[in-house]
Structure 1
């Protein structure tokens, strides 16, 4: 019985290689993301928050959940982005007690510029056919437990 536990916990070489490759991809992405953010005089956390807000206004608590950090950290990040004119606070139309953070026009333009400067993911993916990108998306969604048809 003890040998079954040991066997179940060991990782086969192919799985280990895939895990290492995923780690390398993630590390490269974050490295380039931090560099791109710095070129726009942003920290990585500021860039991620601005990127989220360029899609839609969000309550501060939801931003904290998405960024996996404390709400007080989000408040500080929003304060700094607001001081630069990239973000504004506004009341939530459905509940005026809740404050939404929203990207300003300048913030959305900066977020777009930041996305456009991220070549790491775009260039290697451009070398894949549409079918290969669809297959990769499906596999990643499956790994995350999401519906591959989404």
Structure 2
């Protein structure tokens, strides 16, 4: 039966939904332990990859630009991010994670015990395979 999938796409989508729900719940509790909303925590996680323009952040987090402004305002007030002019277009403000923002992001990840324990049950080879598959499905679009 080479070439015939053992699991249909619908079943995979359902398992992804359950998995992402568990991850999101774990993430939300971890962010709350740092007195952050899930949206604020997600913004910090995105900024961990590097500075981003406000519009790009709003697109990545699939939220309205005005909502993104409020999220960033609150994070900036806590000293977790700062705004700085874009080197290529001074009209654009990039949002940059501060050292304290990095610490908080690390603390959120460290508190995600259910997710961490689940991933640690996988062998190193399985984690590498999962990484490769997730990149192929979601990153290489």
TM-score (norm 1): 0.81
1:126 aligns with 2:117: no
For 1:145 and 1:74, locate their aligned partners in 2 and report how far apart those are by CA, in whole Å. Answer: 23
Note closer, same or farther for the CA distance 1:70–1:139 as it changes in structure 2 (3 Å cut). same
For 2:49 and 2:104, locate their aligned partners in 1 and report how far apart those are by CA, in whole Å. Answer: 13
1:55 to 43, 49, 56: 49
Q: How do 1:111-122 residues align onto structure 2 when only pairs under 5 Å count? A: 111-122=105-116
Higher alpha-carbon deviation: 14-23 or 36-45: 14-23
Higher alpha-carbon deviation: 37-46 or 78-87: 78-87
1:65 aligns with 2:59: yes
Look at both structures and tell me which one has the larger radius of gyration over its CA atoms. Answer: 1
- Corresponding pairs, count: 136
Q: Which has the higher contact order (CA 8 A, sep 6+)?
A: 2
Provide structure 2 residue ranges, at least 5 long, that are not aligned to the other structure: none
Q: Which runs of 4+ in 1 moved over 6 A?
A: none
